[in-house]
Chains A and B, each alone.
Chain A
Amino acid sequence: MGYTRVIKLLLLCCVFTFMTTGCWDRKELNEISLISGIAIDKGENKKYKLSAETVNITELSPKTKGGETPSVVYTQEGDTISELVQKMNTGLSRKLILSHMSVVVISEEIAKSSLMEFLDYMDRYREVRNDFNLVVAKGVKAEEILTVLYPFQKISTLKLKVQLNTLQDEWGGDPDVRLKDFIQALVSKGRSPVAVALTVSGTKHIQNSTDIMKHPIPPSLITVPGMAVFDKEKLVGYLPLEGVRVYLWTQNKLRHTSLSVPCSKDKYINVFVYNSSTNVKARGKNDVPHIQLNIKVETILDGTQCGADLSKHSSYVDYERKAADFIRAEVLATIKKVQKDFGTDIFGFGDHMHLQDPAYFHKVSDRWQEAFKKANIEVKVDARIRRSGLDTKSFLQQLPPR
C-alpha cells in the first residue's frame, strides 16, 4: 500500500514537472508581430543589412483599418541574419515571428558576391517554414521590394506571394523555387539553382508611401522581369520570362501557359496549354552528353488570326505542327543560350544523367558544367489541339471579300 502510494506520488511529481516547464515559448497573439518578408542587402559596415517587413495587423482587417501604413519596414546591419532578427526590437515594438514570412529578397550584390551562407540559418531555424519565395532583386536594392504597397493585399510581400503563385499557375512565369529546392540544387553536382527575379517599375520617389495605393495606375509596381541564374552560389545572369517557361518545361512543372504561334506573316494562332508533361532522357555517347526532351502538350485553340477552316482535320494537323515547332524552337533557344552564356546546368540534366547513365556521370561529375556546355540537346514536341473553343468556323472566314 505504502509502496504504490510512493509510486503514485512520484508519478504526480513527474506530471507537475511537465506543468512547470510549460509556457516558456507561449506567445500571445497581441504580443507578437508577423514578419511577412525580409530583404537582405550588403551592409556598408557589417556583412549584411537586413530589412524586415512587419505587418500592422489592424490595417489589414476591413473592420479596423484606419488609413495608416499596413506595414513597417525596419533596417539594420550586422554580421549574421539570426542576430539581426533577434535584435529587431532596437526599432520595432513586439516580438517578431518568422513562421509566416512569405518572401525573402536577396539583393543582386549579395547574390553576385556569393554571400549565401545565411541560408544555413534559414534551413536550420525551426520557425522558418519551407514555403516562402526566394527572390532576387534585379537592378534595385532588396529593401525597396518591401516598400511598394499594393491596394489588394496592401503589403508588398503578401502581394508578391499571391502574384508569384498565380503567375506560375497561369502562365509559367515563376520557377517555383523554395528554400529546400535551392539548397538541394546548391549541393547537387548536376544542377545549379535559379530564383525568380523582381524589380520595381515606375517612379521610385513615390514608392515609399501609402499614397501609392490611391492611384488606378500604380505609380510604382513590383514586376517580374525573369529569373536569376546561379552558378552554384554565385549569380551569373538573368533569363527573360520565356526562359522561365522553358525552365518549367524542362522540370515537368508547367501547368498552364499560352503560346502565340506564328501561322503566316504577322499572323498568329493562340493556343492555351492546359496539360503538359516532359520526359528527359540523358545518355553519354562518345564522351558527349546527349539530352533528349520529350514534351507532350495538350492545348486548346484560343484564337486564330489566320482563319483556316477548322472543320477540316488538316488544319488542326497544320496548327499542331506549327505549335510543336514553336515550342521546340523556344526550348532549344533558351537551353542553347544557357549553355553558351552561363555555362551552368540550371535544368538539372546532370541529375537525370546521374540516374539514367551513372557510369558516364561518374566520369564527368567533377567537370559536369563543362560537359553540359558541350551537350547535344534534342527536343521532341508532341503538341495536340484538343478543342477549339465555342466556334468551329471563325468569323474571319465569313468576312465579305473586300
Chain B
Amino acid sequence: MRDLTTWFKAKIRQKQIREERIYSYHSSTEGDKHIHSEVEINKQEIRSIFGNTADLHTIGIRVQGREGMLSYLSSTIDLQMVNQIFMEPLSDLDGTESEIDNDEELERYMQTSFSGKKYVMASTLNQLTWLILSGYVVVCLDGMTRAVALYCPQKSQRAIEEPTTQTVIKGPKEGFTESAEQSITLIRKRIKNPKLRFEPFQLGTETHTSIYLAYIEGIINPAILQEVRKRIQSIHTNAVFDSGMIEEFITDKTMTPFPLVFNTERPDTTAANLISGKAMIIVDGSPFVLSMPATLNDFFQISEDYYQPFMMATFIRFIRYIAFLIALIMPAAYVAIITYHHELLPTPLMISIMAQRESIPFPAVVEVLIMEFTFEILREAGIRMPRAVGMTVSVVGGLVIGQAAVEAGIISSIMVIIVALTAIASFVSPVYSFSMAARLLRFGLVILAASLGLYGVMLGLFFMVGHLNSLRSFGIPYLSPMAPFILEDQKDVILRLPVFSMKKRPTSNQPADVIKQPNAHSPTPPQKEGT
C-alpha cells in the first residue's frame, strides 16, 4: 500500500514538473527588452531572436540623414508593396529639411507621410518580434527608442473556388479558402450590416493562429455568445491548424458520435446561420467555418433547400432523413430478419434470399461485417490515394466487392445490394461529419442485431435516442425543436414551408430578436378589372 502511495506521489510530482516546464517555456521573458537607441544593438537582438533563419532580412537604410535598419521576414511581406507605398515616401523626404530628433517627431513625421496607411509604433523588442511575424516591415532609426512597423502582408492565397465537400446545383458556388480574411470578406459581402461583428482571438501557444468569432449583435442570444467566448478563452493548446481542432475544445461532450458543432465551407450557409442567431468561428488556415449552437436537424438541411421550390425541398429533406435511417439500420435489420425473424418476409422474397444464401459459408453477420469493413477500407483508400492511382481503387474495389465475391460464392448478391445502398445512403447527409455517426453506430447495431434480433436493434435505437436527448449544444437541446417540441419551428424542420410563411426566426437557437420578416406575404397575381 505504501508503495502505491509513493508511486502516486512520484507520478504527481512528475506531472507538476512537466507542467512547470511547459508554462516556463511559454511565458519566457526573452525579448521583453526596450528598443535600444543604437540600431546595431537592435539588429543583433533581432538576429538572436530569429536565429539565422533564411527569410529574415535586416537591411541598413538612411532616413532624414539618420542611419537606420529595415527588418522583415520575406515570407510574410509583400516586397513590392513595401517599395511602392513605404520606401518611396521615405526616400523622397530624404532631401528635405525636416529633422527627426526624438520619438515624438518621428511619430509626427510618420503621421504626415503615411496618413491612411497602416503602421504601428513599437517600443519593445517583444512587440517587434510579433510585428515581424505578422507581416510588418520594421524600421528602426538610430537614436530612437521606438520603431515604426509598416503593414504590408503577403497576399498568398488560393483563388475562391467551388466548395469541394458541400456542393449545390442551384445557388452560390463560392467557397471559403484557407485565408480567414478572405472568409470574412465573403461573409461581409453577403451581410451588409453594421451589427455584424468579428471578434479576434489568438490561439496556440506555438502557432499563434488568428481566429475570429462572428455574430450579429442584436440577433444572437447574449448568453450563448458569452458562453462561446468563454469556451474559446479557456482553450489551452499549442497549435491550431484547422477548425476541427477548435471543435473538440469547445464541444459540450466529446464521448458522442454525433457532431455538436456544425461546420460549413459555404459563405451563404454561414450568412444564413448568422442571420438565424448563431455564432460562427473562423479559423485562419481552414476553409471550414464552425457554427454553434447546432441541433440534429441542422445536419439534414442545406442552403439549397431555400433556393428551390418548397415542395421539392421538402421532398429532398424527407429523402435525407430516410437515407440516414437506411445508413443506420439497414444492415442491422437485414441481419436480424435473416437470422431471427424469417416470418417477416413474404414467401417469394424468402425463397429468393434463401436460394442465394444456400452456398454461403459464413453466417449472415460475418458476411455483413466483411462487406462493411471492405467498404470502409475502400472508402478510406479512395480518399487518401494519390489522384493518379485513384482509378485503380475504384476498379479493383468495384470488381472485388461487386462481382468476384458473389461469383466465388463467399458473399450473396443481396448482401452487395444492402451494403451498396447503405454506402450510398450514408453520403446523402449534406455535412460529412454527420454521416460518421451513422457509420460508427451501424457496427454496434449489427452486433446487437446478430445477438438479439430486431429486439436488439430496437434496444440500440432506444439507447441512441436517449443519448441524443441527453446532448446539448451550447445549452440548446440537440433534438430541438423535436424534443422539446416547438410547434412554431416545425415550418422548417422536416417540412420546408414557403419562405414567406416563416415570419419568425427558429426559436430553438433562442435568438434575442425573434421577428424575422413580419410583413412577408405570399404573391398575389394582379386582379383583372371587373372580376
Interface string of B329-368 (1 = CB under 8 A from A): 0000000001110110001001111111111100110000
Question: Measured between alpha carbons, how far is A202 from B494 in the docked complex, in Å?
Answer: 62
- Residue on B with the closest CB to A101? B347
- Residues on B with C-beta less than 8 A from A19 are 451-452
Question: Top 6 nearest A-B pairs by Cβ distance?
Answer: A61-B355, A99-B343, A22-B451, A22-B452, A57-B354, A29-B357
Q: Are A58's CB and B339's CB within 8 A? A: no
Give the total of B residues in contact with A, Cβ under 8 Å.
25
A-B contact pairs, 10 of them (CB 8 A): A18-B456, A25-B453, A27-B340, A28-B338, A29-B354, A30-B359, A60-B355, A100-B343, A100-B347, A127-B343
A29-B357, A34-B347 are known contacts; what are 8 more A-B pairs with Cβ within 8 Å? Answer: A18-B456, A22-B451, A34-B350, A57-B351, A60-B351, A64-B355, A100-B342, A161-B347
- Contacts A22-B452, A30-B357: A99 and B342 contacting too (C-beta < 8 A)? yes
In Å, the complex CA distance between A64 and B412 comes to 13
In the docked arrangement, what's the CA distance between A29 and B341, Å?
11
Of the candidates B339, B342, B347, B452, which one forms a contact with A18 in the assembled complex, judged by CB atoms under 8 Å apart? B452
Within 8 A of B (CB), among A107-139: 127, 129
Q: Which of B351, B360, B363, B364 contacts A61 (CB 8 A)?
A: B351
Cβ-defined partner of B360 (8 Å) among A30, A32, A57? A30
B275 part of interface (Cβ distance < 8 Å): no
In the complex where A22-B452, A30-B358, A57-B358 touch, is A102 in contact with B347 (Cβ < 8 A)? Answer: yes
Q: Does B378 contact A (CB under 8 A)?
A: no
* A64 neighbours in B (Cβ, 8 Å): 355, 358
A26 at the interface (CB under 8 A from B): yes
Residues 24-49 of chain A: 1 if any B CB is under 8 Å from the residue's CB, otherwise 0? Answer: 01111110101010000000000000
Shortest C-beta distance, A77 to chain B (Å), equals: 28
What A residues does B359 contact at CB under 8 A?
30
Residues of A within 8 A of B453 (CB): 22, 25-26
Assess whether B459 is interfacial by the CB under 8 Å rule.
yes
A158 within 8 Å of B by Cβ?
yes
B412 vs chain A, min Cβ distance (A):
9
Residues of chain B in range 405-453 having any CB-CB distance to chain A below 8 Å: 450-453
Known: A19-B451, A22-B452. A129 touches B357 (CB 8 A): no
Chain B positions near chain A (C-beta within 8 angstroms)? 338-340, 342-343, 347, 350-360, 363-364, 450-453, 456, 459
A27 lies within 8 A of B355 (CB): no
Binary contact track A343-368/B, C-beta < 8 Å → 1, others 0: 00000000000000000000000000
Residues of A close to B351: CB separation below 8 A: 34, 55, 57, 60-61
| Bound complex: CA A109 to CA B122 (Å) | 112
A288 within 8 A of B: no
CB-CB under 8 A for A28 and B339, given A23-B451, A100-B347: yes
B208 to chain A, nearest CB (A): 39
Measured between beta carbons, the chain A residues less than 8 angstroms from B452 are: 18-19, 22
Chain A residues near B354: list those with CB within 8 A: 29-30, 34, 57
Please name the residue on chain A nearest to B459 by beta carbon. A18
Which residues of A sit under 8 angstroms from B358, Cβ to Cβ?
30, 57-58, 64
B363 in contact with A28 (CB, 8 Å)? yes
Complex Cα distance, B491 from A145, in Å, reads 60
Taken together as a complex, chains A and B put the C-alpha atoms of A161 and B351 apart, in Å, by 15
**Residue from A27, A30, A97 with most neighbouring chain B CB atoms (10 Å):** A30
Interchain CA distance A34-B459 in the complex, whole Å: 29
Q: Which of chain B's residues have a CB closer than 8 A to the CB of A26?
A: 339-340, 450, 453
Which A residue sits closest to B339, measured CB to CB?
A26
Quote the shortest CB–CB distance from A264 to chain B (angstroms): 48
The smallest beta-carbon distance between A12 and chain B, in angstroms, is 13
Is A265's beta carbon under 8 Å from chain B?
no
Contacts of B456 in A (CB 8 A): 18, 22
Hey, which bits of chain A sit against chain B, CB under 8 A? 18-19, 22-23, 25-30, 32, 34, 36, 55, 57-58, 60-61, 63-64, 97, 99-100, 102, 127, 129, 158, 161
User: Which residues of A are found within 8 Å of B342, using beta-carbon distances?
Assistant: 27, 29, 32, 97, 99-100
Evaluate contact between A27 and B343: CB separation under 8 angstroms: no
CB-based nearest B residue for A64:
B355
Q: Which residues of B contact A36 (CB under 8 A)?
A: 347
Chain B residues near A129 (CB-CB < 8 A): 343
Tell me, rounded to whole Å, the shortest Cβ–Cβ distance linking A96 to chain B: 11
List B contacts of A29 (CB < 8 A): 338-339, 342, 353-354, 357, 364
Once the chains are docked, how many angstroms separate the CA of A99 from the CA of B341? Answer: 9
Once bound together, how far apart are the Cα atoms of A34 and B342, in whole Å?
10
**Min CB distance, A123 to chain B, in Å?**
16
A64 to B359, CA, bound (A): 10
Residues of A within 8 A of B347 (CB): 34, 36, 100, 102, 158, 161
Residues of B within 8 A of A58 (CB): 355, 358
Tell me, in angstroms, the Cα distance from A18 to B357 when the chains sit together: 28
Task: State in angstroms the CA–CA spacing of A97 and B347 once bound together.
Answer: 12
- Chain A residue at minimum C-beta to C-beta distance from B452: A22
Determine the distance from Cα of A63 to Cα of B357 in the docked complex, in whole angstroms: 12
CB atoms of A100 and B350 under 8 A apart: yes
Chain A residue at minimum C-beta to C-beta distance from B362: A28
Query: CA A127 – CA B342 in complex, angstroms?
Result: 9
Separation of A178 and B459 alpha carbons in the complex (Å): 34
CB distance from A69 to the nearest CB of B (A): 15
A90 to B433, CA, bound (A): 56
Check B364–A28 contact: CB distance below 8 A.
yes
In the assembled complex, the Cα of A58 lies from the Cα of B353 at a distance in Å of 10
Contacts of B450 in A (CB 8 A): 22-23, 26
Report the bound CA distance from A28 to B360 in whole Å. Answer: 10
Beta-carbon nearest neighbor of A28 in chain B: B363
Residue of B nearest to A21 (CB): B452
Taking CB atoms, residues of chain B closer than 8 Å to A63 are 355
Question: In the assembled complex, how far is the CB of residue A66 from the closest CB belonging to chain B, in whole angstroms?
Answer: 12
Q: In whole angstroms, how far apart are the Cα atoms of A19 and B342 in the complex?
A: 21
When distances are taken between beta carbons in the complex, the residues of chain A under 8 Å from B360 are 30
Residue among A19, A25, A26, A60 with the highest chain B CB neighbour number at 10 A: A26
Min CB distance, A295 to chain B, in Å? 34
Residue of B353, B358, B450, B459 ringed by the most chain A CB atoms within 10 A: B358
How far apart are the CA atoms of A25 and B453 in the complex, in Å? 9
Q: How far is the CB of A98 from chain B (nearest CB, A)?
A: 9
Neighbouring B residues of A161 by C-beta, 8 Å = 347
A136 to B272, CA, bound (A): 71
For the complex, give the distance between the alpha carbons of A39 and B451 in Å. 35
Residues of A within 8 Å of B355, CB to CB, are 57-58, 60-61, 63-64
Instruction: Give the residues in chain A near B451, CB-CB below 8 Å.
Output: 19, 22-23
Bound: A27/B350 CA distance, A: 14
Residues of B contacting A34 in the complex (Cβ-Cβ under 8 angstroms): 347, 350-351, 354
A27 to B354, CA, bound (A): 12
Q: A64 to chain B: closest CB distance in Å?
A: 6
Which of A55, A100, A127, A161 counts the most chain B CB atoms within 10 A? A100
B364: which A residues are within 8 A, CB to CB?
Answer: 28-29
Looking at the assembled complex, report how far the CB atom of A30 sits from the nearest CB atom of chain B, in whole angstroms.
Answer: 5
